Amino acid sequence: MPFTIAIDGPAGAGKSSVSRRVAQTVGVTYIDTGAMYRALALKAKRMHLGVEDHESLIPLVSELKIKFSPLSETYQQSLFLDEEDVTEAIRTPEISQFTSALSVIPDVRYGVVALQRELARNDPRGALLEGRDIGTVVFPDAGLKIFLTASPEERARRRVEQFRRLGLAADYQEVLQDQIIRDARDSSRKDSPLKAAADAVVLDTDGFALDEVVDKIVKLADERRSPIA
């Protein structure tokens, strides 16, 4: 199997920024697994479906037509859903909350996980997958597993900055409270809860610059990657 890197952690821990740079530096394909759930959530919302509409939601997974663009020189990546660029549409607070509720449905997770595995295993370059259960469920045999974390306050601050860069209004206290609720839901769900794999390297990003975190992970990847991978 191509070399696979799994990066997990709670919302706002810096997974996206770190993962994009690591993937670009190591030379593997970047797969934002959370964006895949967000795309499903956006499609469901547009169809006016709620989390209780299981019979209608499950078929949507197999119908998902998702395509990621290559990372740009500035580490940006677009996501296309049914050939529409939904990169910004999937990052709103409303979609974030709906995604977390949607992702706890077992049959939904099984379908999306199967798609994630297919994308990674079919890529000869190898892949870096970012999410919440990559090292524990999606790719428990990944060549390198990282669990990124940070304090709730720091993660909420980063989220507010992210929303404002997208031109969205965001209140720090509301974001912090929503994040605490989301963390509790993700960590306590029966199916694929958010947790570090037993053999994952845990990195607390509080007080560390982005480049420092990236350098640590790239070094670990270089040490573990087979010369023939």
Looking at the domain assignment, is residue 226 inside a domain? Answer: no
Whole-model pTM: value is 0.81
pLDDT of amino acid 229: 45
For the domain that residue 158 is a member of, what is the CATH number? 3.40.50.300
- pLDDT per residue as tens digits for the range 150-169: 998 988 988 888 888 888 88
Domain contains 227: no
Q: What is the pLDDT of residue 226?
A: 58
Instruction: Say how many CA atoms lie within 13 Å of 151 toward its Cβ.
Output: 6
Q: Is position 137 within any domain?
A: yes
Give a yes or no: residue 228 inside a domain: no
Would the CA dihedral through 100, 101, 106, 112 be positive or negative? negative
Is residue 172 in some structural domain? yes
* Domain count of the fold of the chain: 1
Residue 95 and residue 79: Cα distance in Å, rounded? Answer: 15
Tell me, yes or no, whether 132 lies in a domain: yes
In a domain, 20, yes or no: yes
Range of the domain at 156: 4-217
In a domain, 222, yes or no: no
Report, as ranges of residue numbers, the positions in the chain whose pLDDT lies below 50.
228-229
